[in-house]
Amino acid sequence: PVIVVATRNAGKVREFAHAFAPLGKEVKSMFDYPELPDVVEDGVTFAENAWKKAKAVGDALGLPVLADDSGLCVDLLNGEPGVYSARYAGEGAADAQNNAKLLDALATLKAGEDTQPPLLSTARFVCALVLYDPASGDKVEAEGAAEGWITADAAGEGGFGYDPLFYVPEYEMTMAELTLEQKQAISHRGHALRALVSRLEA
């Protein structure tokens, strides 16, 4: 059986494929449906944007669809970049540009300080998931979060997005230094997915 995930983010696809493989499910993504238009993500919450993606893609394909809207909320930046995480440094910005902008913003805030600790601010990753079945109209939602710190010492080649800058205290490593299994165990996406599955089984 196939599960369609309404995403064009290759990092998300990798994580969902890894999570669903043990359940015998193959993941398809928007890379398999290049003809579908981009969904306008103008919601003010992660949940709102996840719903916009699930609804648009589910209705277009006539198939059940899972959508993920996620991002990074940095406490010293009053929750930014939040729902703007993918386009923090501008529409279509590369991960490296977004990461550079984040470190710049925190460096500016800390400019007056004598010493610059590597850990710059507490932060959390948030993931909102929506599973939508256009045949029944059923909509199941779940959310997950992962707490950590933004570090000036970027490290790691794994994951995607802000992972090299996200220090995970439990592992004393960045999210990008974790294996897929380790990230799944503690990540916003892992928590949201387990919450969604338990809601489906209830």
* Binding stretches for Na ion (CB under 5 A): 86
**Beta carbons of 86 and 92 less than 8 angstroms apart:** no
Count Cβ atoms below 10 Å from residue 89 Cβ, excluding itself.
Answer: 19
Distance separating alpha carbons of residues 171 and 183, to the nearest angstrom: 10
- Active-site residue 38, yes or no? no
Catalytic residue among 38, 68, 69, 138: 69
Judged by beta carbon distances under 5 to 8 A according to partner kind, the member of Na ion, ligand ITT, none in contact with residue 99 is: none
| Burial track 97-114 (b if 16+ CB lie within 10 A, e otherwise) | ebbbebeebbeeeeeeee
Please identify which residue in 19, 163, 167, 168 interacts with ligand ITT, judged by CB under 6 A. 163
**Paired sense of beta strands 139-151 and 65-74, if any:** unpaired
Total chain residues near ligand ITT (CB under 6 A): 22
What is the spatial distance between Cα 127 and Cα 125, in angstroms, rounded to a whole number?
7
Among 124, 160, 173, 185, binds ligand ITT (CB under 6 A): 160
The answer to whether 8 is annotated as binding is: yes
What's the rounded Cα separation, in Å, for the pair 158 and 162?
Answer: 11
Find which of Na ion, ligand ITT, none residue 68 binds, CB within 5 to 8 Å per kind.
Answer: ligand ITT
Q: State the nearest-atom distance from the C-beta of 163 to ligand ITT, in Å.
A: 4
50 to 89, contacts with ligand ITT by CB under 6 A?
68-72, 85-86
In 3D space, the residue among 44, 72, 70, 69 whose CA is nearest the CA of residue 55 turns out to be 69
Looking at beta carbons only, is 14 or 110 nearer to ligand ITT?
14
**41 counts as binding ligand ITT under rule CB under 6 A:** yes
Residue 2 or 40: which CB sits closer to ligand ITT? 40
Pick left, alpha or beta for residue 24 (phi over 0 → left; psi -120 to 50 → alpha; otherwise beta).
left
Cβ 61 to Na ion shortest distance, Å: 18
Binding partner at 162 among Na ion, ligand ITT, none, C-beta below 5 to 8 Å by kind: ligand ITT
| CA angle (155 as vertex; 116, 89 as ends), nearest 5 | 75
The site for ligand ITT (CB under 6 A) is made up of 7-9, 12, 41, 68-72, 85-86, 98, 125, 159-163, 175, 187, 189
